[in-house]
Every structure is written in structure tokens, then in C-alpha cells.
Structure 1
Amino acid sequence: MQIKDVLLAPGNGAFFYDDQAAISAGASQDGFVYVGDPITPDFQSIRIPASSLSVGLVLTDDAVVWGDMMNVQYSGAGGRDLFFDTHQISDLTSRVVTPRLLDADASRYLPACATVLEPFEHKRLPLAIEYGVSQALLRAAAHLHRTTMAEIICSEFDLPLPTRRVPIYCQSGDAREINVDKMILKSVDVLPHGLINSRQKFGVGGQTFMEFVRWVATRTRAIGRPGYHPVLHFDVYGWIGQEIGLEPQTIADFICKVADTVPDFTLNIECPADFGFTQAQIDNYARIVSILNDRGSSACIVVDERCNTLEDIRLFAEAKAAHLVQIKTPDVGSIADTARAVLLCKEHKVGAYVGGSCTETDLSARASVHISVATQADMMLAKPGMGVDEGFSIVGNEQNRLLAMLNRRRTQNENVG
């Protein structure tokens, strides 16, 4: 067997774990800290530094390949796994997953994932474990086959070597104006997220949000290079539903009103409302999508909350309950399932956005790039962190290096042929 030892190393995520329920309930900020008591289980305070756990596979040639485990920023919200406890995850990995890894055939990626990540005591492993271990196994397979991670995915899923660059999407965090300027100056493909996660940021009747949308469009025209025309993508964390109401027609009317203020741009609205559980989310989002399509609106609905696992994504895609599905990589679990999710969305002619979280690491971000490029996703998130420069550099540079290697491989294959 190719794995002779397993290493675990605690680490830091690139941002913080936040209690979304407490923030939505009106927790105020004091500098970078949220004031008040947490609401979501396992949170000791509303904002906690994100932790991670690296798993390293020592191969027979003494090379060590790594993957990183963590949860998303808003752990425990929208049907997601609860708060990431490094000690519990480390213990479970050591007791259950390590013996499986030592018996695995790391040269066969999908079969290795299937056996190593199978349920324990009739329950699925924590998705953070699936995520980190599947990254390490992908790097192991790439090392053993002397190839890129993207090529392993292409081989396992019978996909052609990709040629197209995947558009990159940046998020601003709370430093909206400065980070929007950075995005525009760097000609980011999709911007700015906006972090519209409170009543204060959304405004009465959505007025504050609409003013911000108009400002982003105006700023893009003012300082963007000639011909620069990004997609405008805003995550409103369910605030349209909270402030305007949960009637699909009313939500669609509001979204059309926002789109009409920036008629020259494609407008993505992520998580317009949270209907409380998955089936209600599917039914109501499908209705909103249908209304927008019937009107010929340029606005697109992006689903996030209540659409976590591969099975959730399948249900939303089949129901056409979004124009674009965020495949939130740590919530999906195995990164092989992220690849499956992109292909599933394509099968149902729904957009596939390989997202994730600001709490991730450089390693998980780079692995996500390989999945995104191999499956030719519609866009991918610049991560980790809540800034622009670092995540855009990590994801953008990894993509450019990967495409250069794939182009060389393609040329070699053509010469051999």
C-alpha cells in the first residue's frame, strides 16, 4: 500500500467562525467583535477564530501530501454541520480514518475515497473530515501518477483535458468600498458579494442595499479599464425575505427592481430568502426563478442556504430551483462530490459555482481550483480569507499554473499521436 503513515497538524482557518443566528438577531459590532450572547449551539462567543486540522499522508517514497479540514464561516446555520471542534475531529480521524487510510490504494482516487470515507457507526463522517481527507487522497493520486490533481479528476470522470479559464468571484467582507476598488482595479470577473448580513446593511425596504448596488455599478464604470464588464453578485443572507416578506412574487418583484437600476449588468442575487427547510426552499426558489425567467429579467438566483450536500444539490438542480448553485465545498464533504455536483448541475443545465468559505486555507483553495477547472465550472470563489488580494492571488495563480501545465500535456499528447 502507498500510505505508510498519517500525520495530523492543527492550524488556522483564514477568517473566523460566526454565529449567523446571533448576527441576524441584531448583535452589534464593537470594532471587529460582536457584542452579545451566542445563539447557535457550540459557539462560546458570536465570533471565534477559525481553526483547521491538516491531515498528511506519508507515502512509500517518503513524500508527504496534505489536505485541510475545517467548517464554513456560518457553521450550524442553514442545515450545516455544527461548530468545528479540532480535538473531536482529531480524535475521530485518528481512531477511525487513519486505519482505513493505511489500508487504502491511494493510486485509485474514487475507490479510495469510497472506502476511507464510508460511514462510521451508521452515520456519515463529519463533512470536514471528508473534505480534508479527500484533498489529501487527491494529492496522493496526483503524486503517484506524476500528474496534476485536475488530470486525476478528468481521468476518473472521463472528462477531456480542459482549455477554458474559469471566471473568479471575489467577496468584499465588511470593507466594502476599499475591496470593491481593489476588485475593479484587478478586473475581477464577478464581484463584490457585499456581505449584506444584517438589517442595517440591507436597509428599510432594501433601500441601503439598492444604493450599494448602484454604487458598485457606478464605481465600475468610473475606475474600471475600458471594456471591463463584470457580473455583479450580491449575497443578501435571506434579508429580502426577512424585510420584504416570503411571498415569491414579492421577492421576484424586488429583485427585478434592483436589476432595473443596473440594466447594463448581469445581476446575481444569492440567498434572497430562507424558507426554513430544504423542500420549502426548493419549492419557493423554483417559483422565483420561474417568475424571473418569464419576465426575461437579467437577474439570476443563486442558492446557498439549505443546499449543502450532493443530494441537496441534485434536488435543487432537478427542480430548476436556482439559476446558479453554490457548491459550498466544506459543506458538500468529499471534494470528489464537488466534482460530481458540478457535473450534475451541467446535466440539468443549471449554473455551477464552486464556492466555499473565507475560513478555508491555501491548500483547500488550491484543490478547489483543480476541481473547478477539470469540471469546467461556471465560476469559482477567490479564497481563503475575507480580503481580496490574498484569495485572488492564490486561486488565480493556481489556475494559471494549472492551465500552463495542461496546455503542455495536451501538446505532448498531440505530438505522440
Structure 2
Amino acid sequence: MQIKDVLFARGSGAFFYDDQAAIMAGAPQDGFRYLGEPVTPGFTSIRVPASSLSIGLVLVDGAVVWGDMMSVQYSGAGGRDPLFDIKQISDLASRVIVPRLLDVDASLYLDAHAKIFEPFECERLPLALEYGVSQALLRAAAYLRRTTMAEVLCTEFNLPLPTCPVPIYCQSGDAREINVDKMILKAVDVLPHGLINSRQKFGVGGQTFMEFVKWVAARTREIGRPGYQPVLHFDVYGWIGQEIGLEPLSIADFISRVADTVPGFELNIESPADFGSTQAQIQNYAKIVSILDSRGSRARIVVDERCNTLEDIRHFAEAKAAHLVQIKTPDVGSIGDTARAVLICKANGVGAYVGGSCTETELSAQASVHVSVATQADVMLAKPGMGVDEAFSIVGNEQNRLLSILSRRGAQTETVG
């Protein structure tokens, strides 16, 4: 077997874990921290520095390949796994995962994947653990085959060698105006996220949010290069439903009004409302999508909360309960399931957005690029962190390097043929 030892290294994520319930309830900000008591189990404060755990696979020739485990920013919210606990994850990985890793053929990615992620004590392994271990396995397979991670996935899923870049979506964090300017000047494909995660940012009746949308469009026209036409994508964290109610028609009416304020732009609205359960989310999002489509609206609905695992994504895609599904990589689990999720979305005519979280690391971000390009997702998130420059550089440069390699590989194949 090609794996002869396993290493662990504690690390940090690129942002913070936040107690979404406490923030939604109105916890005040004091500088960068939030004041008040946490609400979500596992949080010792409302904002906690993100932690990660790296797993390194020592191969027979001494090479070491790594993957990183972590949770998402809003852990424990919307049906997600609880806050990342390094001690608990490290103990489980040492007892359960290490023996399995030492007993698989690491060159056979999906075969190893299936054996290592079998349930333990009749329960699925923590998704953060699956995510990190699957990254390391993918790097091991790529190293052993002398190919890129994208090529491993193309072979395993019988996909053609990709040649096209995947559009990149950046997020602004709370430094909205400065980061929007950065995105426009760098001609980002999709922007700005906006982090509309409180009543203060959404405003009475959504007025503050609507003004921000109009400002982003106007700023794009003002300082963007000629012909620059990004997709405008805003994550409102359920605040449309919170502020104007959970009637699908009312939500669709509000979204239509927002779209009307920015003519000429395609508008993505992520997480317009939280209906309390996955099934209710599917039913009501499908109604909102249907209403917008019947009007020929340029607005599109993006689902995040209540759509976490591969099975969740399958249900949303089959029900046409979103125009675009965020495949939130640490919540989906393994990289293999992220690839499957993209392919499920495509098979059902639904957009696939390979997202993730600001709490991730450069290693997980680079692995996400490979699965995004291999499956030709519709968009991928610039990550990690909540800034623009670093995340856009990490994801964009990795994609450009990958496409350069794949272009050469394709040219070699044509020459041989």
C-alpha cells in the first residue's frame, strides 16, 4: 500500500467561526468582536477564531501530501454540523481513519474514498473530517499518477479534459465599499456577496439593502473598464423572509423590485428566507423560482441554508428549488461528493456554484479549484478569508496554472493521435 504513515498538524482557518443565531438576534458589534452571550451550542463566544486540522499522508517514497479539515463560518446553523472541535476530530481520525488509510490503494481515488468513509458505529463521519481527508487522498492519487487533481477527477467520473475557466465569485465581508472597488478594478466575474447578515444591514423593508445594490451597480459603471458586466450576487441570510414575511409571492415581489433597480445586470439573491426545514425550504423556494421565471425576471435564487449534504442538493436540484445551488464544500463532505453534486445539478438543469467558507485554508481552496474546473461548475468561490486580494489570487492563480497544464496535456494528446 502506498500510504505508510499519517501526520496531523493543528492550524487556523482564514477567518472566524460566528454564532449566526446570536448575530441574527441583534448582538451588537464592538470593533471586530460581537458583544453578548452565544446562543448556538459549542460556541464559547459569538465570534471564535477559526481552527483547522491538517492531515498528511506519508507515501512510500517519503513524499507527504496534505488536506485540511475545518467547519464553515456559521457552524451549527441551518442544519449544519456543529462547531469544529480539533480534539474530538483528531481523536476520531486517529482511532478510525488512520487504520483505514493504511489499508487502501491510494492511487484508486473513489475506491479508497468509499472504503475510508464507511460509517462508524452506524453514523456518518463528521463532514469536516471527510472534507480534509478527501483532499489528501486526491493529492495522493494525483501524485501517484503524475497528473493534476483535476485529471484524477476527470478519469474517475469519466469526464472530458476541461479547457474553459470557471467564473470566480468574490465576497466583500464587512469592508463593503473598499472591497467592491477592488473587485471592480480586478474585473471579478461575480460580486460582491455583501454579508447582509443583520437587520441593520438589510434595513426597514429592505431599503438599506436595496440602496446598496443600486450603489454596487452604479459603482461598476463608474470605475469598471468598458464592457465589464459582472453578475451581482448578494447573500441576505434569510432577511427578506425575516423582514417582509415568508409568503413566496411577497418574497418574489421584493426580489423583482430589487432586480428592476439594476437593469442590465443579472442578479443573484442567496438565501432569501429560511423556512425552518429542508422540506419546507424546497417547497417554498420552488414556488419563488417558478414565480420569477414566469415573469422573465433577471433575478436568480441561490440556495445555501438547509441545502448541505449531497442528498439535500439532489432534492433541491430535482425540485428546481433554486436557479443556482451553493455546494458548500465543508458541509457536503468529501471532494468526491462535491463533484457528484455539480454533476447532479447539471443533470437537472440547475446552476452549480462550488462555494465553501471564508474559514477555509489555501489547501482546501486549491482542491476546490480542481473539482470546479474538472466538473465545469458554473461559478466557484474565491476563498479563503474575507478579503478580496488573497482569495482571488489563490483561486485565480491555481485555475490559470491548472488550465495551462491541461492545455499542454491536450496538445500532447492531439500530437500522439
TM-score by length of 1: 1.00
CA drift of 1:403 comes to: 0.1
- The amino acid across from 1:109 in the alignment is Y
Matched, 1:162 2:162: yes
Alignment of 1:183-332 (within 5 A): 183-332=183-332
CA drift of 1:332 comes to: 0.1
- CA deviations on 1:11-42 (whole Å, 9 max, x unpaired) are 00000000000000000000000000000001
How many residues were matched structurally?
417
Matched, 1:117 2:123: no
Equivalent residue, structure 2, for 1:375: 375
CA drift of 1:345 comes to: 0.2
- CA deviations on 1:255-277 (whole Å, 9 max, x unpaired) are 00000000110000000000000
Equivalent residue, structure 2, for 1:136: 136
Equivalent residue, structure 2, for 1:105: 105
Partners in 1 of 2:344 and 2:63 — Cα distance?
34
- The amino acid across from 1:405 in the alignment is I
Q: Alignment partner of 2:174: what SS? A: coil
Partners in 1 of 2:117 and 2:216 — Cα distance?
43
CA drift of 1:49 comes to: 0.1
Matched, 1:148 2:152: no
Structure 1 unmatched runs, 5+ = none
Matched, 1:346 2:384: no
Partners in 1 of 2:195 and 2:129 — Cα distance?
27
- The amino acid across from 1:239 in the alignment is W
Q: Alignment partner of 1:37: what SS? A: coil
Equivalent residue, structure 1, for 2:413: 413
Q: Alignment partner of 1:67: what SS? A: strand
CA drift of 1:174 comes to: 0.2
- CA deviations on 1:295-339 (whole Å, 9 max, x unpaired) are 000000000000000000000000000000000000000110000
- CA deviations on 1:70-119 (whole Å, 9 max, x unpaired) are 00000000000000000110000000000000001100000101001111
Structure 2 unmatched runs, 5+ = none
- The amino acid across from 2:402 in the alignment is L
- The amino acid across from 1:98 in the alignment is V
Alignment of 1:71-110 (within 5 A): 71-110=71-110
Equivalent residue, structure 2, for 1:27: 27
- The amino acid across from 1:344 in the alignment is I
CA drift of 1:43 comes to: 0.3
- The amino acid across from 1:185 in the alignment is L
- The amino acid across from 1:411 in the alignment is A
- The amino acid across from 1:225 in the alignment is R
Partners in 1 of 2:217 and 2:308 — Cα distance?
31
Q: Alignment partner of 1:412: what SS? A: helix
Q: Alignment partner of 2:50: what SS? A: strand
CA drift of 1:240 comes to: 0.0
- CA deviations on 1:174-205 (whole Å, 9 max, x unpaired) are 00000000000000000000000000000000
Q: Alignment partner of 1:280: what SS? A: helix
Partners in 2 of 1:111 and 1:5 — Cα distance?
19
Q: Alignment partner of 1:7: what SS? A: strand
Partners in 1 of 2:16 and 2:125 — Cα distance?
23
Equivalent residue, structure 1, for 2:39: 39
- The amino acid across from 1:364 in the alignment is S
Aligned residues: CA RMSD: 0.3
CA drift of 1:381 comes to: 0.1
Q: Alignment partner of 2:123: what SS? A: coil
Q: Alignment partner of 2:66: what SS? A: strand
Percent identity (aligned): 81
Partners in 2 of 1:74 and 1:287 — Cα distance?
26
- The amino acid across from 1:10 in the alignment is R
Matched, 1:13 2:21: no
CA drift of 1:213 comes to: 0.1
> Which aligned runs of 4 or more in structure 1 are off by greater than 4 angstroms?
none
Partners in 2 of 1:335 and 1:85 — Cα distance?
21
Q: Alignment partner of 1:53: what SS? A: strand
Equivalent residue, structure 1, for 2:171: 171
CA drift of 1:399 comes to: 0.1
Equivalent residue, structure 2, for 1:361: 361
Q: Alignment partner of 1:353: what SS? A: strand
Partners in 2 of 1:345 and 1:214 — Cα distance?
31
Equivalent residue, structure 2, for 1:63: 63
CA drift of 1:364 comes to: 0.1
CA drift of 1:134 comes to: 0.3
Partners in 1 of 2:143 and 2:415 — Cα distance?
24
Partners in 2 of 1:162 and 1:71 — Cα distance?
30
CA drift of 1:387 comes to: 0.2
Partners in 1 of 2:205 and 2:267 — Cα distance?
19
- The amino acid across from 1:273 in the alignment is A
